[in-house]
Amino acid sequence: MDQILSLVFSVEFVALVFVIVLVRSSIKFVPQNQAWLIERFGKYHSTKEAGLNFIVPFIDRVAADRSLKEQAVDVPSQSAITRDNITLSVDGVLYFRVLDPYKASYGVDNYVFAVTQLAQTTMRSELGKMELDRTFEERSQLNTNIVTSINEASEPWGIQVLRYEIKDIVPPQSVMVAMEAQMKAERVKRAQILESEGDRQSAINVAEGQKQARVLAAEADKAEQVLKAEGEAQAIVAVAQAQADALRLVGEAANTEDGQSAVQLDLATRAIAAKQAIAKESSVVLLPENGTDASSMVASATSIIQTLNRHK
């Protein structure tokens, strides 16, 4: 009896262990950002996402564990020939992630190796379309072109390439020497251009200053001439005004009795001076009989003065 009970307990214990193992095998906890591919009898059955999942023990199995996180893969250095036949050594970093775990598992044997090789061939192809100078100047555009080409080719693998970054572009030593010489010549050229621009600007400033100086000198001469002319005009006006005032005063004085006497005296004085002048011209001078009369002398003086004026 004891043997039977012992046997029953043994069977129940084994059955309990078997159930526990079955339950434990059927429960699967998939981590975040991962996907498990389940095969049943060797054929794809389903894709289990993050969380609690159940499978059939001994029938289903986890065939692949795919990470859905962004991955970075180093692209080894390789040689590439540019459009102008320059050999370059180029390496880079590829960033991608798995969009479709089924395609990444069954569409290609090793998607990491495949996408790396695709990045290398695509990079060689894109560099072959560009000249050496453009590879340095348009590196961002080159990265964009590589990403676009890789995405078109890797779509059947369920892979999305997010970006590609070129780390180093190393040309041959001879090309580097030539590039350094070119950069040196370019710097010398820029220095000469800047120096010539400075000389040109200096000459322009000097010419502009001389021009302004001449303009200012001409304006000063003009102002001086205008002021001189205005001064002469004012002097002429002042002289004329003074002569007019003098004549007016003489006229006013001549209207008086004393003025008439002064006029006669002045005329007599001038007549005597005129006779002296005539005496210098001729040794013979004819005087009127009434030469002692003042009026006669005035008339005679007037006549003599008119004669002298005609001779002049």
Amino acid at 141: Q
> Which tens digit of pLDDT belongs to each residue from 53-109?
888 888 888 888 888 999 999 988 888 888 888 888 888 899 999 999 999 888 888
pLDDT category at 291 given cuts 50, 70, 90 is very low
Q: How far apart are CA 115 and CA 163, in angstroms?
A: 12
What token pair was written down for 250? 């003489």
Phi, psi of 235 (to 5 degrees): -65, -45
Q: Which residue has the tokens 């003098």?
A: 246
Q: Are residues 238 and 276 in the same domain?
A: no
Give yes or no: residues 275 and 244 share one domain. no
The alpha carbon of residue 258 and the mean position of all alpha carbons in its chain are separated, in whole angstroms, by 95
Same-domain check for residues 242 and 269: no
- Indicate whether 273 pLDDT > 80: no
- Please give the average per-residue pLDDT across 3-7, as a whole number: 61
CA-angle at 47, arms to 116 and 49, nearest 5°: 90
Worst-scoring range by mean pLDDT, 30-34, 43-47, 233-237? 233-237
CA dist 108 and 110 (Å) reads 6
Token pair listed for 15: 């059955």
Rounded to whole angstroms, the Cα distance separating 86 from 134 reads: 12
List the beta bridge partners of residue 130. none
Return phi, psi of residue 90, to 5°.
-130, 135
Q: What is the CATH number of the domain that holds 81?
A: 3.30.479.30
Verify that 83 and 158 share a domain, yes or no. yes
Residue 265 has pLDDT above 90, yes or no: no
My answer on whether 275 and 230 are in the same domain is: no
81 and 166 assigned to the same domain: yes
Alpha-carbon distance of 292 to 123, in angstroms, equals: 140
As a whole number of angstroms, the distance between CA 154 and CA 91 comes to 20
Which residue range(s) make up the domain with 220?
180-255
156 and 77 share a domain?
A: yes
- Residue 15, pLDDT > 90, answer no
- 112 or 244: which carries more pLDDT confidence? 112
Q: What is the pLDDT of residues 194-219, one digit of tens each?
A: 888 888 888 888 888 888 888 888 88
Nearest to 162 by CA among 93, 65, 78: 93
143-166 pLDDT per residue, tens? 888 898 888 888 889 999 999 988
Joined tokens for residue 190? 């820029």
Tell me the whole-structure pTM to 2 decimals. Answer: 0.52
Residues 95 and 140 both lie in one domain: yes
- 182/105: higher pLDDT: 105
Tokens, residue 245: 């005032």
Q: Which residue has the tokens 């400075």?
A: 198
pLDDT in tens, 300-310: 655 655 564 55
Q: How confident is the model at residue 4 (pLDDT cuts 50, 70, 90)?
A: low
Within 13 A of 26's CA, how many CA atoms are on the CB side? 9
Last residue of a domain, one of 171, 202, 232: 171
Strand positions, DSSP E, 130-256:
159-170
Residue 298 has pLDDT above 60, yes or no: no
Same domain, 107 and 152: yes
Nearest to 61 by CA among 45, 83, 84, 81: 45
The pLDDT value recorded for residue 281 is 61
* Strand 71-81, strand 43-48: pairing: unpaired
Label residue 43 exposed, middle or buried (CB < 10 Å: 0-12, 13-18, 19+).
exposed
Q: Are residues 241 and 290 in the same domain?
A: no
Q: Which of 245, 306, 251, 257 is nearest to 277 (CA)?
A: 306
Last residue of a domain, one of 218, 233, 255: 255
> Does residue 57 sit in the same domain as residue 88?
no
Higher pLDDT, 91 or 299: 91
The total number of structural domains that make up the chain: 4
Amino acid at position 119, single letter: A
Mark whether 155 and 186 lie in a shared domain.
Answer: no
> In 97-172, which ranges are continuous DSSP H helix?
101-106, 111-127, 132-137, 139-154
| Average pLDDT of the chain to the nearest whole number | 79
